[in-house]
Amino acid sequence: MPRLDQRRTPYFDVLQDYVTSGTIPFHTPGHKQGIGMHKRLRDFVGDNVLAIDLTQVGDLDDLNAPEPGGPIEQAHALAAQAWGADTTWFLVNGSTAGNQAMLMTALRPGDTVLLPRNSHKSATSALIMSAALPVYMQPEVDHELHLDHCVTPETVRHALDAHPEAKAVFITSPTYYGATADLAAIEKIAHERGALLLADEAWGPHLHFHPELPPSATSIGADVCVNSTHKLLGAMSQGSMIHTRGERVDLGRLRSTLRIFQSTSPNLVLLASLDVARMQMATEGKALLDRTLELARDARRRLNAIPGVYCMGTDQVGRPGIAGYDETRLVITVRDIGYTGYEAARILQHRYNVQVELADLFNIVALASIGTTRDHIDQLVAAIGELGREDRPIDIYAPTGVLEDRLKKRSYRTPPTPKLVVTPREAFVSDHVEVPFKQSAGRVCAEVITPYPPGIPIVCPGEQLTDEIIDYLRLELRAGVHIQGPVDEQLRTIRVLP
């Protein structure tokens, strides 16, 4: 394929042409380029964004069935070349739709898929829809910082030894905490055994554009990879991409699967933002990321100079499950200055007007990106510096003492992955009954139950509850750990199969 001119923005251009042509809009959306929208919102968001909030009529093409050679196909080809992929599609329902389409394309009912136990919930929903059989791989856990990283190549190899029938290996890399997997080694192992490598790279749309960042999934030959362009680059929320490489994936099937998960009325402003975000990264991505890395490295150095504060970085590379590290991620451990991550995040928000992306028991996660300024970094570092100077008793386990017991004596271990009795799909589509949680041992769970941190489900739909799981989760609740997933988050009751 000849090199394409990455300065072009074919999809954004057709939207602008539509506006300058002065076309009279007898089509959706009903606000007719802003005229019918209430002034309060129109005045705030501005006329131009509403003028290109159009629908797929005339020359504006169709995301679900792009015209051969038309503006969407051109924008997709430019994106594929920018990310080193063979084909790319724009997504308007985030990487959620990307993961669902990727897994649904690769798997048939009853097929085995290997995936990390801490996969994003979009992977769980894909298991429900595809009726595939999950074999969960344990990610590496840093017990000291109480957070989870990637699965190792050894874990993938063992899982494939035990399940040679697996059709696909699904890997999350980077994680929320910035660790990347050894994708090159995993690619070899998966392909040697005839399994597809599917990469959830929602947190890595920028990796491809800077040599000092870990290698991207497309560069190491993952068969399919999903990027949340909106999470760290210039696209608008929900704007993501799915990339493919090689011949192993049935592209026709992927195209028809995407039609199931995407609206027939995609937001065209979003599509334009994906087109322009690609142009921006292809033409100036390296320089933008030079600056981002410089700011993030400066922040990390200054944060690590605050007594009691730790901001992980490339020093962690080589530890289990951390083959590489995305230095733009600022995971700030506040435990030793006497705060839980939850408390620190609340104080940063209310006292310093600084909003972080994520908080857990010991850490907060701040994202540096191409939109981060030096002033933002200075404010974050100054706020953490002030927290560090406060005279706090170093006693974050105080309310119950349970956590201290569990974490310090290491006397309480996560229960083993429970037995899968029925597929996640069967568990989801069957009738459910609510029973007291305390008496649910032996029942087949209909819900996902995930304590945060570290965000690894203790039980998933279709798995059998045990006394060990019940004791463990009750202890977690007593310790004030957040439980996500069940309808009754206090776990007085649980939904199980009849």
Ligand X SMILES: Cc1ncc(COP(=O)(O)O)c(C=O)c1O
Residues in contact with ligand X by CB under 6 A are 94-96, 99, 120, 122, 172, 176, 200, 202-203, 228, 240
In the bound state with ligand X, the residue whose beta carbon lies nearer, of 10 and 98, is 98
Query: Chain-centre distance of CA 383, in angstroms?
Result: 27
Q: Which two tokens stand for residue 23?
A: 């076309």
In the bound state with ligand X, the residue whose beta carbon lies nearer, of 178 and 388, is 178
In the bound state with ligand X, the residue whose beta carbon lies nearer, of 130 and 228, is 228
In the bound state with ligand X, the residue whose beta carbon lies nearer, of 175 and 316, is 175
Which residue has the CB atom at the shortest distance from ligand X? 94
In the bound state with ligand X, the residue whose beta carbon lies nearer, of 176 and 397, is 176
Least distance between ligand X and beta carbon 246 (Å)? 22
Least distance between ligand X and beta carbon 91 (Å)? 8
Q: Are 130 and 425 in contact (CB under 8 A)?
A: yes
In the bound state with ligand X, the residue whose beta carbon lies nearer, of 156 and 202, is 202
Least distance between ligand X and beta carbon 99 (Å)? 6
Least distance between ligand X and beta carbon 96 (Å)? 3
In the bound state with ligand X, the residue whose beta carbon lies nearer, of 388 and 485, is 485
In the bound state with ligand X, the residue whose beta carbon lies nearer, of 105 and 240, is 240
Least distance between ligand X and beta carbon 203 (Å)? 6
In the bound state with ligand X, the residue whose beta carbon lies nearer, of 148 and 447, is 148
Phi and psi torsions of 319, nearest 5°: -75, 160
Least distance between ligand X and beta carbon 228 (Å)? 4
Least distance between ligand X and beta carbon 172 (Å)? 5
Cα distances (angstroms) measured from residue 182 to each of 143, 155, 190:
21, 11, 12
Least distance between ligand X and beta carbon 382 (Å)? 28
In the bound state with ligand X, the residue whose beta carbon lies nearer, of 120 and 278, is 120
Contacts 24+ apart (CB under 8 A), 289-295: 289/206, 289/209, 289/210, 289/213, 289/328, 289/370, 290/210, 291/370, 292/206, 292/328, 292/368, 292/369, 292/370, 292/372, 293/210, 293/212, 293/213, 293/327, 293/328, 295/368, 295/372, 295/373, 295/374, 295/377
Least distance between ligand X and beta carbon 263 (Å)? 14
Least distance between ligand X and beta carbon 311 (Å)? 20
